[in-house]
Amino acid sequence: MSVVSGGAAAGPPAAPPPEGRSVVAAEVPVPAAGLQLIGQAPGSGYRKPPSLVRRADGQMLQLTALLYRTLEAVDGQRDYDEIAARVSAGSDRSITGDDARLLVDSKLRPLGVVCPADGSQPVVLKANPLLGLRFRWVVSDPAVTRRVTAPFGWLFLPPVVAAVLVAFVLVCKWVLFDRGLALAAHQAFDRPGLLLAVFAITVVSAGFHEFGHAAAARYGGATPGAMGAGLYLVWPAFYTDVTDSYTLGRGGRIRTDLGGLYFNALLSVAMFGLWCVTGWDAVLLVIGTQLVQMIRQLPPLVRFDGYHLLADITGVPDLFHRIKPTLLGLLPSRWGNEESKVLKPWAKVVVTLWVLLVVPLLALTVLVTVLSLPRIIATAAVSTGHQFSAMLDRFAAFDVVGGLVKLLAVVAVGLPVLGICYMLGRSVRQLAGRVWRGTAGKPGQRALAGLVALAVVLGLVFAWWPRGNYRPIQSYERGTLGEVLPASLAGRAVPSGLREGRQASATTSWPASAGALPTADKPALSLVLVPRTSTADGKVAPTWVFPFDRPAAPGPGDNQALAVNTRDGSVVYDVAFALVWADQDTVLNKNEAYAFASCTACRATAISFQVVLILGNAHVVVPQNISAAVNYNCLACVTQALAVQLVLSLPGAPSAAETADIDALWREIQAFAGQLAGLSYAEIHARLSGYEQRLVDVITKYTPLPGVSSGPLPSGSPTVSPSGSLSAPGATDSSSAGTDPAGSSVAGSASADSSLSPSGSASPSGSASPSDSATASESPSEPATSAATPAESTASPTSTP
């Protein structure tokens, strides 16, 4: 069979080729200009290490051993038969001239390492991965980079590295745990000029970070390339071309990867030195920004330093390209496939774990970002508007520095949103193009892809349909995954009742002077305080209906019992027992018992018992003991609040025997805390008073306290020595309604028992009329409290007009 080239007339048959030569031997392939053959990659994680080739544009390519030997034989002089002979002589695999031509035409020419048949230079495009840097702007060419990084090589000498790392650890410890950054932040925001200086230094530090990579590569013997800036994901970023570090061993590549973080540590130590000289606390914020930058760089999720570090440790420089083979290799049908065996066993384990971590995280990130995009845009729009308005005001007042700070705020808010929109749009465009090309000539697959695309579009319409999801993100929202996902996607029912951050309905009371009541068409703004969720059964506590703010949550070292009942005919108990060892110079521990009720024939009881043992000499001792019992719009309600606080000062740490006695007694007290149901108010009070006395007896048994002897506790308030440390305990009883201005005592107990009569005086029967006022008093003839059993209030809120 003879082949005639297009349009040419057929001539006499060509002479047969010389013996042993193929019919294609006349063509001589030519290597691309600027091609650099590097050789086998050192420290590779592949069973058969690839060989490295760098094109003139700086793109590094990995070739198999056969392709590399073939490219090595292409010199512009040898024909295909000679190339085949050279390749066969250098390996145990024999190829023919036709094989050599096939390798060159189908493998090497598409990679841009061999010129086209017409002899022109290949036109190639560098890889443009989705998670790669784009919009690059070169600041220094390779020659300038090599020149400016040369003076930094000595910083990688082992003694210098060790000294810098020790200094960095000490500086971080001092800044984070001793000095803190609060004063630095206050000073920076109080003086916008300093804030701009901190921002400028932080931007420069990002470039200094890239100097670290280049200097580390140069120290190892590699040649750094161009340096510049670009856009990575949604933020501007500097970059350094350290492709030549692939010629280094594993240790040299790891040093190059960590060089940027090392220079962040250098800058942090330098900023500490600047603070020592100037005393400007705002400079310490730069150390904080360096730590944030280092933490951001370390996770190997995207192409930051942590990604390249993991790639060089495993010897697999193309981790993202290993995602598809790794996922397919998990299928049992692929376990014996050759593609599943290309990595060394330990490298395969590491890469598989990385894929199983990164793929779900990236998929979840994209899903949450897409579903939250309307609210992200709304929040950014509102914030940008506020910052822009403030910027105009600053410039109008000739406050240039303040205006520039607000301009940075506008950019900081708007840029990430633009980046998110760009990344999502580019992802959709790339995916659509890939699917369209992959389904060419396959109508069934293309139809299936169209159905999937339609389902995605309908899902987005459902998720983005306006139903309150275009409002800005509020400060009270937690931003959990369950809140981000629509209720149908999260597999949960839409909760009923009032919840923070959700729209719902509840019965409310409006004064007669309010006029027309609000309607759905004409709503009115109202404020409803929502209490915390009950920890007992996970049910939501009743809506806060009382005409005062909810008590603040207890702080460190405080103790609080809070019983709130809004359910008719129910009983609510809340008990809080605490033993506190205080060894600080200031003792401000607070013990609180609050019982609030707003219902019919209900009961609320709060018991709070706190023991504070002060070790050593405290110069400020102001403990607080507070109780409050309130009936609001209640009919036949009983509320009881008992707060008992015992404060004792010990000269030093107790002995082992003393500690054992205290622990044994406290275990008994804790057991009593779970047995309060069925006891009357007076019985509970008496038992707690007894425990107070027994604690005092235990302490005085080993360490007699000044002015205290064994026997019943004295009444009255404790005495305080001139230094302010407690020298004697005491016990007091106080009653209150609402807050207790006279019920705060240094030591002792406080109680409140609210049972209202129409006139507001204490009533032994516990009946009450609907009155907004409340008084409280301790009554020894308390009605049958012992018959009550604890129950949790879970009813919907009601309001009595």
Round to whole Å and give the CA distance between 178 and 542: 43
| Confidence category of residue 168, pLDDT binned at 50, 70, 90 | very high
CB-facing half-sphere around the CA of 326: CA atoms within 13 A: 22
The whole-number pLDDT of residue 521 equals: 61
Length of the chain: 801
Q: Over the stretch 191-233, which tens digit does the pLDDT of each residue have?
A: 767 677 777 777 777 778 888 888 888 888 888 888 877 766 6
The whole-number pLDDT of residue 486 equals: 55
Lowest mean pLDDT among 1-5, 50-54, 444-448, 470-474: 1-5
| Confidence category of residue 125, pLDDT binned at 50, 70, 90 | low
Q: Helix, strand, coil proportions of the chain in percent (round to 5)? A: 45, 15, 40
Q: Rg of the Cα trace of the chain?
A: 39
Structure tokens at 699: 């302490």
Lowest mean pLDDT among 225-229, 515-519, 642-646, 749-753: 749-753
Are the C-beta atoms of 718 and 747 separated by less than 8 Å?
A: yes
Lowest mean pLDDT among 208-212, 499-503, 605-609: 499-503
| Residue 18 predicted with pLDDT over 80 | no
| Residue 31 predicted with pLDDT over 80 | yes
Helix (H, G, I), strand (E, B), or coil: what is residue 275?
A: helix
Are the C-beta atoms of 28 and 77 separated by less than 8 Å?
A: yes
- Alpha helices by DSSP H, listed for 397-471, are 400-438, 443-464
Maximum average pLDDT range among 173-177, 523-527, 707-711, 723-727 = 173-177
Helix (H, G, I), strand (E, B), or coil: what is residue 551?
A: coil
| Residue 508 predicted with pLDDT over 70 | no
Report the Cα–Cα distance between both ends of the chain, in Å, rounded: 105
Reference 584, options 617, 628, 548; nearest CA is 617
| Confidence category of residue 164, pLDDT binned at 50, 70, 90 | very high
Are the C-beta atoms of 606 and 561 separated by less than 8 Å?
A: yes
Reference 725, options 656, 662, 648, 669; nearest CA is 648
| Residue 599 predicted with pLDDT over 60 | yes
Lowest mean pLDDT among 279-283, 372-376, 522-526, 785-789: 785-789
Round to whole Å and give the CA distance between 799 and 801: 6
The whole-number pLDDT of residue 100 equals: 86
Are the C-beta atoms of 580 and 611 separated by less than 8 Å?
A: yes
| Residue 480 predicted with pLDDT over 80 | no
| Rounded alpha-carbon distances, angstroms, from residue 516 to 509, 510, 520, 704 | 13, 10, 13, 70
Which residues are within 8 A (CB) of 349 and not within 5 positions of it... i.e. 6 or more apart?
none
Are the C-beta atoms of 677 and 664 separated by less than 8 Å?
A: no
The whole-number pLDDT of residue 594 equals: 93
The DSSP call for residue 717 is P
The whole-number pLDDT of residue 162 equals: 93
Using N-to-C axis directions, what is the helix angle for 192-220 and 400-438, rounded to 10°?
Answer: 50
Q: Over the stretch 389-420, which tens digit does the pLDDT of each residue have?
A: 888 888 888 888 888 878 888 887 777 787 77
| Confidence category of residue 722, pLDDT binned at 50, 70, 90 | very low
Are the C-beta atoms of 703 and 697 separated by less than 8 Å?
A: no
Structure tokens at 598: 């707003």
Round to whole Å and give the CA distance between 291 and 255: 19
Q: Over the stretch 297-349, which tens digit does the pLDDT of each residue have?
A: 888 877 788 888 888 888 888 888 888 888 888 888 777 777 777 888 888 88
Round to whole Å and give the CA distance between 595 and 467: 40
Structure tokens at 237: 């970023």
| Confidence category of residue 459, pLDDT binned at 50, 70, 90 | confident
Reference 341, options 362, 325, 354; nearest CA is 325
Q: Over the stretch 725-773, which tens digit does the pLDDT of each residue have?
A: 223 333 333 333 333 323 322 333 344 444 332 222 222 223 332 233 3
| Residue 602 predicted with pLDDT over 60 | yes
| Residue 716 predicted with pLDDT over 80 | no
Phi, psi of 663 (to 5 degrees): -65, -40
The whole-number pLDDT of residue 13 equals: 39
pTM greater than 0.85 (yes/no) = no
| Residue 163 predicted with pLDDT over 90 | yes
Round to whole Å and give the CA distance between 607 and 744: 16
Round to whole Å and give the CA distance between 791 and 536: 11
**Higher pLDDT among residues 125 and 254, named by residue:** 254
Round to whole Å and give the CA distance between 68 and 115: 16
Round to whole Å and give the CA distance between 13 and 23: 13
**Higher pLDDT among residues 801 and 481, named by residue:** 481
What average pLDDT does the segment 517-537 reach?
60
What is 154-167 written as a DSSP string? GGGSHHHHHHHHHH
| Alpha-carbon torsion angle 760, 765, 768, 774, nearest 10 | 40
What is 352-388 written as a DSSP string? HHHHHHHHHHHHHHHHHHHHHHHHHHHHHHHHHHHHH
Q: Provide the total of helices (H) and of strands (E) in the chain, helices listed first.
A: 18, 15
The whole-number pLDDT of residue 166 equals: 94
Q: pLDDT averaged over the chain? A: 73
Cβ neighbours of 284 (radius 10 Å) = 25
The whole-number pLDDT of residue 20 equals: 44
| Rounded alpha-carbon distances, angstroms, from residue 729 to 121, 701, 703, 746 | 95, 15, 14, 9
What is 736-790 written as a DSSP string? -SSS-TT---SSEEEEEEE-B-TTSSB-TT----S-S-------TT--SGGG---
